[in-house]
Structure formats: structure tokens, C-alpha cells
Structure 1
Amino acid sequence: MIKDLPENNVTDIAVAVALEGENVQSKIFHVYLINQKNEPIENVLITSKGYGEKDGEQVKTSTLRHMFPQVDARAFKQVELIDEQTFGLANEYWVSYYIGNQIYDKKFIFLPESIVDANFIRLPIVNKPGVMIG
């Protein structure tokens, strides 16, 4: 039965963590969904959670859910604020969306310690410094 499902490959969709600003005590980061397609995506559902080991103990964050009716072509949506303290965990974003009547989904995982200045690029469309998984 599973072999009968269409293989809808996710392309030109990315999740990014962008540096918004900083002060003496901390940096402010937001997570963005970036649609690099030349067509809009609809009924976008994103679940986010963090998990891993911190100070020798297993840690899990709350699971958050976000919904956007539409993300326009070559546009982005701000998903959530992300705390620097979670950068030592795996941060998972599961994105599902429709194009027409076809559903697409993909899991994007920022591995522990991957959100660091050395990995920053200029994010497409968002035009801010950050780390992107596409």
C-alpha cells in the first residue's frame, strides 16, 4: 500500500534560523519558512520541537504547531522565536503543505551546535544572516 503513494519530493522549500539582532546579554533569533518556488504553497502546517542531551540528561522541549493558509511564491513566513539555549539540542521542524490537491511534507533538523556564526550565510529572500536547511 505504501508503494502506491505518490513520491512528492519537496524542493525549493527551506527552514532557516536568522539572527535578528543582539545586545550585550544575548542574540535574538527567529525561525523562517522560505518558499523559493515560483508558485504559492497552501495550508502550511509546521510542528517544531527540540530534543537531545544536555548536562548528561535527556531533554525534550514542548511541541509547537504553526499554520499558515498560504505562503506566496518567493516569499517567507516568520515561524517562531528560538532561544539560543536550544542550539545544543536537535531542533526539528516538520513542514507539510499543499500545491493544488497534492500534499508534500519534509522533516528539517538542525543538528546540535549547527546554528553557529561559522555556518551563517546571507539567507535568500529573507536577506538576513543565518543558517538554512533546504
Structure 2
Amino acid sequence: MKKDLPDNNVKDIAIAVALERESSESKIWYVYLINLKKEIIENVLITSKGYGEKNGEQVKTSVLRHMIPKVESQGYALIEPIDEATFGLNNEYWLSYYLDGNIYDKKFIFLPESIIESNFIKLPVLNKPGVMIL
């Protein structure tokens, strides 16, 4: 039963969309996992998908799955590149990982139009401009 499961709250883990490079023709964006913990996290699984409404029609992107063997303390891992065309959708990242033999999971959702310059911060660990969900 759900009540029998341990309360494994995800803390000090972030998903960030970073502006990698910018030219007069285009911008290059990447999605990262940032581990702000003092411990290594292992067997990291991430599923990503986009969904929502565009031009009055329901839109869904493919579901992508990523496996990262470990992310060092105060480290980061590249998840995937992301296209600006999806910024008008919900961009969902479902994260699962192991820490000290226990499994943790959390869903991170970038809402439509939340990846905009007025929401940019200097991303910790990466030292790049972007948007982060902690």
C-alpha cells in the first residue's frame, strides 16, 4: 500500500534549461540535471516529454528515456538538447535515482512560456544563464 512506502522526498536536485550558445541566427539550449547534494546519486533514470496545446490543437512529443550511471556531488549531467519550438508546451521530466540504497523520484514540469529571459538566473554549478526547477 502507498502508506507503507517510505517518504523519500527529493531535495537538492534540480532540472535546468540552459542557454548554451547564441548567435544571430539561433539559440542552442540544453537540459541538465544538477546535483546540489553532498552525496553522489546513482542509477539515474529520466523520462522527458512535451505536451499541451498549439494553434488550438493538442500536441504531444515523443517520450524519451535517459539513463545516467551516477552524478557526482555538486555536479551535473547533460540530459538532452531542447528545441525552442517546445517552449510553448509543458516540458515534463520525471526523475528517479538511488541514494544510499533508497529510490527517490520527482516530476519536474516547465510550464508553457516559462523558459523566457525574464526568468533567467545564473544556474548553480553550470554557471550559465537559464531556468531551473528545484
Give the corresponding residue for 1:48.
48
Cα deviation, residue 100, structure 1: 1.8
1:19 aligns with 2:19: yes
Q: What secondary structure does 1:88 align onto?
A: coil
Amino acid at match of 1:32: Y
Cα deviation, residue 25, structure 1: 2.1
Post-superposition, which runs of at least 4 consecutive aligned residues in structure 1 deviate over 2 A? none
Provide the C-alpha distance between the structure 2 equivalents of 1:24 and 1:126, rounded to a whole number of angstroms: 23
Provide the C-alpha distance between the structure 2 equivalents of 1:51 and 1:25, rounded to a whole number of angstroms: 26
1:73-109 per-residue CA deviation (whole Å, 9 max, x = no partner) reads 0000011000000000000000000002100000000
Provide the C-alpha distance between the structure 1 equivalents of 2:114 and 2:60, rounded to a whole number of angstroms: 18
1:71 aligns with 2:71: yes
Give the corresponding residue for 1:131.
131
Q: What secondary structure does 2:87 align onto?
A: helix
Consecutive unaligned residues of structure 1, counting only runs of 5 or more, are none
1:7-63 per-residue CA deviation (whole Å, 9 max, x = no partner) reads 100000000000011122221100000000000000000000000000000000000
1:104 aligns with 2:104: yes
TM-score (norm 2): 0.99
1:86 aligns with 2:80: no
1:37 aligns with 2:41: no
TM-score (norm 1): 0.99
Amino acid at match of 1:25: E
Amino acid at match of 2:58: Q
Provide the C-alpha distance between the structure 2 equivalents of 1:54 and 1:118, rounded to a whole number of angstroms: 22
Provide the C-alpha distance between the structure 1 equivalents of 2:48 and 2:24, rounded to a whole number of angstroms: 28
